[in-house]
Amino acid sequence: MSDYEYRQLGPGDIQLFRDLLGVFAEAFGEPQTYLPAQPGDAYLRKLLGQDTFIAVVALDRDEVVGGLAAYVLEKFEQARSEIYIYDLAVAEAHRRKGIATGVIRHLQGVAKTYGAWVIFVQADPGDAPALNLYASLGTREDVYHFDIPVS
């Protein structure tokens, strides 16, 4: 973990965010989702400047080799928030080097500044590396996930 730099992206980090989208495309095998229809710079600048969105990258010198995208969910029952890790990936050549743990650890520090009380993430049942990683960092809850179409 110590050979990499971890940092939260801000509105001026558009190219680094685009590089993270490339890591997601390769890691998830979904280039059509992450590459051809990327939003324009103004959209990304606004997204990266919002208090409800967090992007953390792992850098090997100036190359994005991993990272995550997360959403801050303000709660209604108490004055606190939760953070949901939406996507997390590491470039294949850099896996098994602690990068995923590093970006989550960095997010834990960021989460304190948001008044978050928990970070949560989903993993597919067959994704053993992700399941092992998340089990090493937190408590597992078995839940059902439903996709509800928009009317």
pTM of the full structure = 0.89
pLDDT attached to residue 141? 80
Q: Where are the alpha helices (DSSP H) in the chain?
A: 14-28, 31-34, 41-49, 99-113, 128-137
Q: Are 114 and 107 in contact (CB under 8 A)?
A: no
pLDDT attached to residue 151? 85
DSSP assignment string, 4-42:
SEEEE--TT-HHHHHHHHHHHHHHHT-HHHHSTTPPPHH
Give the mean model confidence (pLDDT) for residues 46-62.
Answer: 97
Residues present in the chain in total? 151
In a domain, 145, yes or no: no
Contacts of 7 (CB under 8 A, 6+ apart): 56, 57, 59, 106
Range of the domain at 26: 5-137
pLDDT in tens, 72-115: 999 999 999 999 999 999 999 999 999 999 999 999 999 999 98
Give the mean model confidence (pLDDT) for residues 40-56.
Answer: 98
| Total count of domains within the chain | 1
Give the mean model confidence (pLDDT) for residues 2-28.
Answer: 96
44: CATH: 3.40.630.30
In a domain, 71, yes or no: yes
